[in-house]
Amino acid sequence: MDIFKKCDDYITADIAKEQGYYPYFHELTSKQDTEVVMEGKHVVMIGSNNYLGLTSHKDVVKASLKATKKYGSGVSGSRFLNGTLNLHVELEKQLAAFVGMEDATIFASGFQSNLGIISAIAGRNDIIFSDKENHASIYDGMKLSYAEVVRYNHNDMDDLEAKIIKTKKQLEEKNIEKGMIIITDGVFSMTGDLCDLPKIIELKKKYNVRVMVDDAHGFGVMGAKGKGTHEHFDLMKEVDIVMGTFSKSLASLGGYVASSNRVINYIRHNSRPYIFSAAIPPANTAAALAALKILKKEPERVKNLRDITNYMRQQLKAHGVDFRETNDQTPIIPIYTYLPKRTMVACNMLFERGVYVNPVLPPATPVGECLIRTSYTSTHTKKQMDKVVGIIAEVLNELKDLQE
């Protein structure tokens, strides 16, 4: 059989294009902001992860340009060899201090961060307890690690504890010792759910396991100063590993891991995705540094983000829009459309009427739970929210009887 047969047989996207409801790959022709230009249309952007509104900030742009002029467009090598800039080292120091860890190191992307962290710290003789709704990069990192993976029901701490107990009992019966770690998203990217970190830390102490939090959507969002999910719960000293990205609150591209000196030292010398990838370019590094500086100086951006998101929740409720009531601290509001075609048609109609949102379909959601993912920025205005909520309610009402 031809290995490309699966490519020839894949027609789902073709059908959506032919029928006019394909919602992906709209071309952006302006900077990322609360309002953007896509394919000649001016739309309000509520589908971005630009949580703190810093992608267009003059200081971030200026720092990026200045770094390119000084260091060039790239580093032409891995961090392990010729690709370490003083900018990289400075960013790592500042990140570690900000999130309350001894040390940190940075990767070329957030996705690569999870690949590099998990595959380095876990191996064939280890066990990972993973929330079933963890990000795809965590799943791929676990595959790359060859560790045994035990999945627990989403945010179900009773299920997690039962599986830890069962696993430990099985190991004791066989007189085997294995390293164990719980890995969870801090803020779950599709639904905006917040992990039950206090209970996870309780289980960590009770059963002597380690904890890693993927805070890609929690950094710059959670806690009074935006330090993340562990700050929100006042557990800054209890998490063993924190991972995050630059492509969201820090308005750049890249990712990081923060932990103890020994863990970071081990990752630097044993992570294949880290060792065998070129380091992030000077422009991205400088942009992330500048954004972090702004976050430290202007923590009110975190509060503004929370306020505008909660205003939108109130307006959606007032307009009778079916959305999931998640933790009111997160800037993600999932609006349920349930069926794939209805979801894609709705997103296209919203785009045509001036609102950009993200369609989320299986496997990113369970079958029958398709949703429109909306996310907000600290620089959004109530006027913009008043405009988009009316359009959302109007479109969903028109499509309420649409079946597959």
| Residues forming the active site | 189, 217, 248
Q: Are 49 and 43 in contact (CB under 8 A)?
A: no
- Beta strand pairing call for 358-360 and 179-185: unpaired
The C-alpha atoms of residue 30 and residue 256 are separated, in whole angstroms, by: 28
Peptide bond into 299 cis (omega under 30): no
The C-alpha atoms of residue 68 and residue 335 are separated, in whole angstroms, by: 40
Question: Chain-centre distance of CA 364, in angstroms?
Answer: 13
The burial of 4, by beta-carbon neighbours within 10 Å (0-12 exposed, 13-18 middle, 19 or more buried), is given as exposed
Which residues are 127's β-sheet partners?
A: 148, 180
213-245 burial string, b = 16+ CB within 10 Å, else e?
bbbbbbbbbbbeebbbbbbbbebbebbbbbbbb
Structure tokens at 320: 């009778």
Give the angle 100-104-109 at the CA atoms, nearest 5°.
120
The C-alpha atoms of residue 123 and residue 146 are separated, in whole angstroms, by: 6
Q: Are 252 and 68 in contact (CB under 8 A)?
A: no
Nearest to 335 by CA among 348, 352, 349, 320: 320
Instruction: Return the number of other C-beta atoms located less than 10 Å from residue 386's C-beta.
Output: 12
For 56, 63, 84, 284, 285, the CA distances from 87, given in Å and listed in that order, are 21, 11, 8, 10, 7
Return the DSSP state at 319: T
Return the DSSP state at 105: E
